[in-house]
Structure 1
């Protein structure tokens, strides 16, 4: 087992080896969390011969300490709050609402930027592989799970290169399966587990999604009408 990944693409290739049982299945769709989860998800989708789309989620960062998640927001109006952080810091509701309103605008911007006029893939009755580049607090992935469950997929597999062992255990109750390559007792930061953890930009996400659309898949890409 590797101790660190070279970059997100390397992590995606290694993650795909643990998902080989889903290769060439017409019911499988891969969703990546932008931005950093998309390069990982692209490699997974390529190896599985599955369609790729994005699941747009935004962290609700604590004002002044934006890297600390007080919750997360997902497309469809899903809001997940980290009650421990909110209680410890004493964050008033109006601050949470203001941050959520700003992040909702960013979700809408990204939906238009990444998809244009194309609708999201229809996941109803399908096997969804939800991919990110790692899980820290778990707020964003929980928001994504909640939003996805409203769309009634048949099965949900959470697949990440690295996450804290306790987080994996907690998420196992929310998805059909959790696949994680590295489960350190002390995560510290996701970037520590990558040799190259440079920022993923919007244009890279757009290019990867466009490339994925041009690749053959095992099933028909059903779309939301």
Structure 2
């Protein structure tokens, strides 16, 4: 079942839903999870008439088992640890510090690359729309939510075009609202709901953020 032509099409669908539910303007800001969330967030921000920025999250892999996240770091110098995993595996604080330092360098590199010198969007006291191209397990979004809360937004709304029903439901406990346009029962992967799910490149992220900063309009509609 394909619901969207591409991420821009998905962003338009999500933006229309959010406009009905939230209106536009005001003290809203869209933070997109790069890279795939940026084309979606570009359309959402355009439809709502609000600023767009990225919220970069880097997983902290467990030493020797890098696929297992012992935590994450995010935009704004925030570190979130899974203390249960840290205690259960007896991970040394020095190993955690080394992982944080390594991933912080990569996070800083990506933020500098994406923003081209533009400052981060102000989050404190604002309603933040945290956007991605879909939700499967929700691990990255969950880490982003935990990190974002430490920057004192007034409200955090998660928005995605499509998500696994159980993931969208579970995140309701962590966000102020979760808007999933489609929650298909037969969900295997986010990409199955897109005709074109080509990986978004760093250059595309940079271009879209620059266009949003200069108030440029939508990506062209596919015929």
The two structures have a TM-score, normalised by structure 1, of: 0.81
SS of 2:26's partner is: coil
Query: Closer, same or farther in 2 for the Cα pair 1:23/1:65, shift >3 Å?
Result: farther
> Residues 161 and 181 of structure 1 are in contact (CA less than 8 Å); yes or no, is this contact kept in structure 2?
yes
> Residues 164 and 183 of structure 2 are in contact (CA less than 8 Å); yes or no, is this contact kept in structure 1?
yes
Partner in structure 2 of residue 166 of structure 1: 166
Taking the aligned partners of 1:163 and 1:96, their CA distance within structure 2 comes to 31
Question: Alpha-carbon deviations, 1:122-167, whole Å to 9, x = none?
Answer: 1111111110011222121111111211121111110011211111
- Identify unmatched segments of 5+ residues in structure 1: 217-225
Measured after TM superposition, the shift of residue 175 of structure 1 is 1.2
Taking the aligned partners of 1:95 and 1:187, their CA distance within structure 2 comes to 37
SS of 1:53's partner is: strand
CA RMSD of aligned residues (A): 2.8
Q: Is 1:110 the equivalent of 2:110?
A: yes
Query: Closer, same or farther in 2 for the Cα pair 1:40/1:69, shift >3 Å?
Result: farther
> Residues 12 and 44 of structure 2 are in contact (CA less than 8 Å); yes or no, is this contact kept in structure 1?
yes
Measured after TM superposition, the shift of residue 65 of structure 1 is 9.1
- Identify unmatched segments of 5+ residues in structure 2: 217-223
> Residues 69 and 139 of structure 1 are in contact (CA less than 8 Å); yes or no, is this contact kept in structure 2?
no
Measured after TM superposition, the shift of residue 46 of structure 1 is 0.5
SS of 2:30's partner is: strand
Taking the aligned partners of 2:172 and 2:137, their CA distance within structure 1 comes to 15
Taking the aligned partners of 2:208 and 2:90, their CA distance within structure 1 comes to 38
Taking the aligned partners of 2:188 and 2:109, their CA distance within structure 1 comes to 30
Partner in structure 1 of residue 220 of structure 2: none
Partner in structure 2 of residue 207 of structure 1: 207
The two structures have a TM-score, normalised by structure 2, of: 0.81
Partner in structure 1 of residue 193 of structure 2: 193
Measured after TM superposition, the shift of residue 178 of structure 1 is 0.3
Measured after TM superposition, the shift of residue 36 of structure 1 is 0.6
> Residues 80 and 147 of structure 2 are in contact (CA less than 8 Å); yes or no, is this contact kept in structure 1?
no
Query: Closer, same or farther in 2 for the Cα pair 1:80/1:38, shift >3 Å?
Result: farther
Measured after TM superposition, the shift of residue 100 of structure 1 is 5.0
